Structure 1
């Protein structure tokens, strides 16, 4: 029997319709890219194929072999750090130059390793590199919003096989980000707690969608998951961004992320996916200034893993409303390794 559920974070409805799983070709096979290592700009030994690195975890000279992670400017960047921030008006229309940062984190030297294949140090190096770049970008007070995400496989929008993460920092707040800050503040003023805090309390209490709980983090399948086997990870306490977590907490998060990908791979095999962090603003500007003072009390970051194993159709595209063909409770049960 289908249900219409409310996603409290995005404030939208999702249809949970297990009957849709019986549709022909409803589940897609992985369409991971096959890029020869000799031509891969992210492989060790091919450092000359990328722009000069911004940062790397290494013990030798920049832009040569011997690194654990590398960060380089995106060759096809959406925004540029060199741009000015002066606005331009054309009648009622306004625009600003494409100011911002668009960087590529090359997760590790391994060309075809999935997250679950890496050892814990590799995953923690990946997180450490993201944190280092966030701390550096925060120094540029023009930048107020940061997006950290991964696209893996063709169905997730990837163009390179080698594991990598993208970072985009902007001088403006996207609509969905500022909308969540507004709703979260209203929720806090009514309840004294943030939205994600109450969601986690509920998931821990009822356990039906809980996958794993560690000392500082919870991994679960959201009540109104938009995609089959969607997983969300969030801290038990109000940690507003990755770079606000302690070293111990980041190490614990790395172990948990690796564990969740191992569980997903056990159920799905090789799969395409998107991964994205929702974090607090980098800096204050006129858009977010009314929310910044209380973020430590009402905001906590989330990490969302979205397997792209299900074809979306015209309804989803025309309505903006997702149809999920698997109940999150069933997905969580399978990821916990429980038998029927």
Structure 2
């Protein structure tokens, strides 16, 4: 077992700013040490007996957060968990040991900032059942875990942006086949997020109207790009998609 200081050095990362585009790029050498189940073609998915996400204490430590199965009668049993949140064993970012904020600096014409933040994994117990295959009660627990960790980490004044995404399989960028989500809390706001927020503000200033409300109203009338809708949500293919198969989900 290594110390926190050694771990911080081993997994040191930094954000580097592209001087031309203004994009921030996360450089995290420690991520190269994570296991890659998909490094070679496998005929069968990883078995439960060898899966690192099967234990009640993943990584040998108590989870940051744990929920039992919604229909379980053993509400306090550690081995009857359905969702648990753990610190990523191979983090892209780490908090400073003394909990100080990221330090910015320059390297010639370039800007950099320490890769200070939090990197967590939200694991669900079923080995081969992803988020879309869960019951409403089960999926609600996953969303509840997202919300609780988001609320906890946003209290840290060093954190400016929190991203949560779901992994299942090689195509989703997962290094382990067991379905899981990841949370990354960063010391900067990505430029594309800033542009989106600023664009919405600019539209409101020019038209005294919400751009997203205007788009929803138009798409419901036009119907050409609606993928799915119910009484609570609308899913559309954006008018100006940035990538193939991009979807937007509006409440």
Q: Do the two structures share a fold, i.e. TM-score over 0.5?
A: yes
Q: Distance in 2 between matches of 1:125 and 1:105?
A: 11
Secondary structure of 2:129's aligned partner = coil
Flag the 1:82–1:159 CA change in 2: closer, same or farther, 3 A: same
Secondary structure of 1:96's aligned partner = strand
2:84 equivalent to 1:74: no
Secondary structure of 1:158's aligned partner = coil
Contact 1:210 1:219 in 2 (8 A): yes
For structure 1, the residue ranges without an aligned partner over 5 or more in a row are 1-30, 236-340
| Residue of structure 1 equivalent to 2:200 | 184
2:63 equivalent to 1:53: yes
| Residue of structure 2 equivalent to 1:38 | 49
Cα RMSD after superposing both structures: 2.3
Q: Distance in 2 between matches of 1:172 and 1:105?
A: 22
2:120 equivalent to 1:103: yes
Greater relative contact order structure (CA < 8 Å, 6+ sep):
1
Flag the 1:194–1:129 CA change in 2: closer, same or farther, 3 A: same
| Residue of structure 1 equivalent to 2:79 | 65
CA deviation after TM superposition for structure 1 residue 35, in Å? 1.5
| Residue of structure 2 equivalent to 1:322 | none
Contact 2:226 2:235 in 1 (8 A): yes
Secondary structure of 2:138's aligned partner = helix
| Residue of structure 2 equivalent to 1:209 | 225
CA deviation after TM superposition for structure 1 residue 86, in Å? 2.8
Q: What does 1:254-273 correspond to in 2, within 5 Å?
A: none
Count of matched residue positions in the alignment of Structure 1 and Structure 2: 200
Contact 1:51 1:75 in 2 (8 A): no
| Residue of structure 1 equivalent to 2:6 | none
CA deviation after TM superposition for structure 1 residue 188, in Å? 1.3
Q: Distance in 2 between matches of 1:169 and 1:56?
A: 20
Structure 1 ranges of 4+ moved more than 4 A: none
Secondary structure of 2:234's aligned partner = strand
| Residue of structure 2 equivalent to 1:165 | 181
Flag the 1:79–1:51 CA change in 2: closer, same or farther, 3 A: farther
Q: What does 1:208-287 correspond to in 2, within 5 Å?
A: 208-225=224-241, 226-228=243-245, 230-235=246-251
Q: Distance in 2 between matches of 1:179 and 1:220?
A: 21
CA deviation after TM superposition for structure 1 residue 102, in Å? 0.7
Contact 1:100 1:170 in 2 (8 A): yes
For structure 2, the residue ranges without an aligned partner over 5 or more in a row are 1-41, 69-74
